[in-house]
Amino acid sequence: MALTRNFKETVQARVLADPAFREALLREGIETMLAGDVDTGRSILRDYIKATIGFEELGTKTGTSAKSLIRMFGSRGNPQARNLFAVLGHLQEQAGVKLRVTALSRAKRTASTHRSTLSRRKPPAAHRAAA
């Protein structure tokens, strides 16, 4: 029987190697939360954070301790809007994307209540140099 990698390790490797996948994972985490599945959205964002910036650096950037961030995105986490939006704002900046939420009229709604789009922008100079 062949050895297989842990699922989370596979996701992390793909996030590091594939910018389109990395962007899609961030989008999926946010869209899932907007659709009302907060637990799954938190889980996706936790995996995204672990695979990209990490909780220590994110804590430094947002002024929130890494331990609080880990709890916030844990299975029983209940982040305050102020903290969640600070994290989402920094994740967008770090990824070089900008999230936009667009409300759809009732006639145009499909399975989800909201649609979000991510637009590309140049990453901050510090991230371009590290890439």
**pLDDT confidence band for 131 (50 / 70 / 90):** very low
Q: Are 97 and 118 in contact (CB under 8 A)?
A: yes
For the residues 62-85, what does the mean pLDDT come to? 92
Return the pLDDT at 99. Answer: 82
Task: Provide the token pair at 60.
Answer: 């430094």
Domain presence at residue 21? yes
Domain presence at residue 68? yes
Domain presence at residue 65? yes
Mean pLDDT of the chain: 82
Return the pLDDT at 128. Answer: 46
Residue 17 has pLDDT above 80, yes or no: yes
Q: Which domain holds residue 75?
A: 7-95
> 20: which residues sit within 8 A by CB, 6+ positions away?
none
| Count of structural domains, the chain | 1
Return the pLDDT at 117. Answer: 55
Residue 102 has pLDDT above 60, yes or no: yes
